[in-house]
Amino acid sequence: MIVSTVADLATDAVVTRLAADGIDFERVNTEDVPFGQVCTLGFEPGKSLAMEIGRRPVAPVDAIWYRRLRSAARPADMDAGVYDFCVRESRSAFLGGLLAQQARWMSHPAAIWQAEFKPYQLQVAQTVGLAIPRTVVTSDPDAIRTAHDAFGSLVAKPVRSGHFKWGGADYSIFTSRVSDSDLETLDQAPWCPSIYQELIPKKFDIRVTIVGRQLFAAAIDSQSDPSASIDWRRTENPLLPHTRIDLPVELQEQLHALMNVLGLAFGCVDMVLTPSEEFVFLEINPSGQWLWLDDALGFDITGAIAAWLGERP
């Protein structure tokens, strides 16, 4: 069972691989629930759950890939409050039916929800032995200035998601360096906390995609492009140099320990490799992207996900 969205190329790639490998699957695009597809759950004493989606019976599920969850568009003639109620109830029925399945998860919704809290990530990373930057999570202007004085150079990033709407348009917030002039204009800081971290010197940005027990590690030469030096995602350069790398055994064990504590079967870890060859953990995205790495470096992360989903218990 694949829980995703209509416009997700990563899901499309895995679906293509599953079909090519002859593995049966059901894909549910969550925008279709509840207004495009109906969902029915049937419970009988002494019997397994009977589940239908779009009036089609769902066969017993061995594995569930919880990739993305999106809301259906609100019908033009529907009140916003009624819409919110219908979406909440539909999600509770649909996800409740999935949670009742005796299946392996990539990854369990509760684990993903918990792992998306970056302060929690940092604590777990530190607990399993990973190096982390000195960090302050705050909305207090005085605490921000104190961190700047203590850390020397400071970067800021969102606590949860960097995506927001303003004036009807979509925007993204990237990790940015905090300048001296920024410290003089913190009047709006109390409105919203941010993560403030010491600026770690970079030799490379490191992206590690983890699928089960497999690690796919790439070094990204973010320092070759000034626009990518703080946050490589903000560059418009599609040719930013990428290289496959082998991780030290101890670091591999620490990353597996991180995944175990977080309860994740999939994750995309962002790290820094310093000029002194130290790996520093930044964050993990439990539902991150990887297709460009398959294309750029010849990884087969797509195949690894398909193989994990196709495993028989």
Among residues 171, 203, 180, which one has the least CA distance to residue 278?
203
Q: For the whole prediction, is pTM greater than 0.85?
A: yes
Where in the chain are all domains bearing CATH 3.30.1490.20? 134-198
pLDDT in the model for residue 185: 87
Neighbours of 157 (CB within 10 A): 18
Phi–psi pair at 85, nearest 5 degrees: -65, -45
Residue 112, pLDDT score: 97
Query: Which H/E stretch holds residue 3?
Result: strand 2-4
- SS3 breakdown of the chain: % helix, strand, coil, rounded to 5? 35, 25, 40
Q: What's the CA gap between 161 and 174, in Å, rounded?
A: 10
C-alpha span between 223 and 230 (Å, rounded): 8
User: Where does the chain hold its CATH 3.30.470.20 domain(s)?
Assistant: 201-303+306-310
- Give the CATH number of domain 201-303+306-310; options: 3.30.1330.10, 3.30.470.20, 3.40.50.1820, 3.20.10.10: 3.30.470.20
**Angstrom distance (rounded) from CA 80 to CA 71:** 13
What is the tally of helices (H) and strands (E) in the chain? 9, 18
Position 236 scores a pLDDT of 67
Peptide linkage before 107 cis (omega within 30 of 0): yes
Task: Identify the helix (H) or strand (E) that includes residue 283.
Answer: strand 279-285
Give the contacts of 114 (CB within 8 A, at least 6 positions apart).
120, 262, 263
Using CA atoms in the order 270, 272, 273, 274, what is the torsion angle rounded to 10 degrees?
Answer: -170
Question: What does the pLDDT profile of the chain (313 residues) look like in tens digits?
Answer: 999 999 999 999 999 999 999 999 999 999 998 888 889 999 999 988 999 998 999 888 999 999 999 888 899 999 999 999 999 999 999 999 999 998 999 999 999 999 999 999 999 999 999 999 999 999 999 999 999 999 989 999 999 887 787 888 888 889 999 988 888 888 888 899 999 999 999 999 999 999 999 999 999 999 999 989 999 988 867 679 999 999 999 999 999 999 999 999 999 999 999 999 999 999 999 999 999 999 999 999 999 999 999 987 6
Alpha helices in 192-313 (DSSP H): 249-262, 291-297, 301-310
Burial class for 159, CB neighbours closer than 10 Å (0-12, 13-18, 19+): middle
- As a whole number of Å, the CA-based R_g of the chain is 22
Q: How many CB atoms lie within 10 A of CB 85?
A: 11
Q: What is the CATH number of domain 134-198?
A: 3.30.1490.20
